[in-house]
Chains A and B, each alone.
Chain A
Amino acid sequence: MFTLAFIYIALAFGALAALATMILRIGALLGTCPDSSQTARAAAVIIATGFAAIGAGGVILIGAVLPMLPDAQLAGFLGALGFAALCLGLGFTQAVGTLRAVMFDARTKAA
């Protein structure tokens, strides 16, 4: 029980940290362009913070289901981990989409 819970926390928060880092790195990559570097970096930090906060909340809430399934531990563990990964991935798509929208609006405004 505790082992599975620990593995769940490690994997889910590891994925969350990796994805949040990726948002920051994408922001840093976009920030190499001198025209929009300020916009990109500020937006990436804000979006990564929001993603990390919402993602942590989601991971903890999904993890709260684990103790409710003492009879089907492995199924609960895999289900919770899969659902968490699915939602984190979709959230990451939205986060990068927001970053792109910010850049898109900045470019449209500049043009």
Chain B
Amino acid sequence: MHSMILPPPVPYPPRYIIDPVAFFVALIGGPLLFTALSFWALFIPVFALGLGGPLYLVIGTPLLLCYLRRNDGDPGDLAALAFKVMVLALVPITLLALLIGEKEVFGFGFAFSGFGMIFGPAWAYFSGWIYQRLRREFFAKPRSF
């Protein structure tokens, strides 16, 4: 049967589908778990959760929805992805600072993304760890359909 939903058998890259329950539990639980494990470090992770948490949700949700469709959610891969995103975030920050012509914007953005390069990968690692343990078998295998 050929349709928009069941296309003819052509070479098509394998795709995962995301377990929605596991995804949202992992998305929110990952940062919380990391903070719960590391809050003793001068409470810096708690402040980081408050400052970076909303940004993590705004950037992380669509990005992970795309990424986990193409990749198995290995914790190390997700941490590397988070690090790359935080490095790439420096580009718009630098452009904005150049455009406005204020050094404070760059300094603030650099400090913000610098902390992001530490906490982003840590949160993403724990998210991937939770996700791989929670997701059901139906969602764990790639299909080339």
* Cross-chain contact B143 with A86 (CB below 8 angstroms): no
- Rounded to whole angstroms, the CA-CA distance of A93 and B69 in the bound complex is 10
Contact A87 B5 (CB under 8 A): no
List chain A residues, Cβ under 8 A from B130: none
Interface residues of A in 76-111 (CB under 8 A from B): 83, 86-87, 90-91, 93-94, 96-101, 103-105, 107
Instruction: Sort chain B's interface into a size bin.
Output: 10 to 19
Q: Give the Cβ gap from B12 to chain A, nearest Cβ, in Å.
A: 11
Is the Cβ of A100 less than 8 Å from the Cβ of B65?
no
Q: Is the CB of A90 within 8 A of B62?
A: yes
Residue B66 interfacial (CB < 8 Å): yes
Among A2-10, A13-21, A26-34, the stretch that binds chain B is A26-34
Q: Check B69 against A101 for contact (C-beta < 8 Å).
A: no
Partner pick for A94 among B4, B58, B69, CB 8 A cutoff: B69
Interchain CB contact (< 8 A) of B66 among A90, A98, A99, A107: A90
Q: Is B18's beta carbon under 8 Å from chain A?
A: yes
Q: Is A67 an interface residue (CB 8 A)?
A: no
**3 closest Cβ pairs, A-B complex:** A90-B65, A97-B17, A104-B145
A98-B138 Cα distance, complex, nearest whole Å: 9
List A5-62 residues whose CB lies under 8 Å from chain B. 26, 29-30, 33, 50, 54
Residue A86 contacts which of B5, B17, B62 (CB distance < 8 angstroms)? Answer: B62
Contact: B143 with A29, CB < 8 Å? no
* Chain B residues with CB below 8 A from A97, complex form: 15, 17, 69
A86, B61: Cα distance in complex, Å: 10
Residues of chain B from 67 to 91 with CB closer than 8 A to chain A in the complex: 69
B residues within 8 A CB of A99?
5
A29 pairs with B1, CB closer than 8 A: no
Q: Which residues of A contact B17 (CB under 8 A)?
A: 94, 97-98, 101
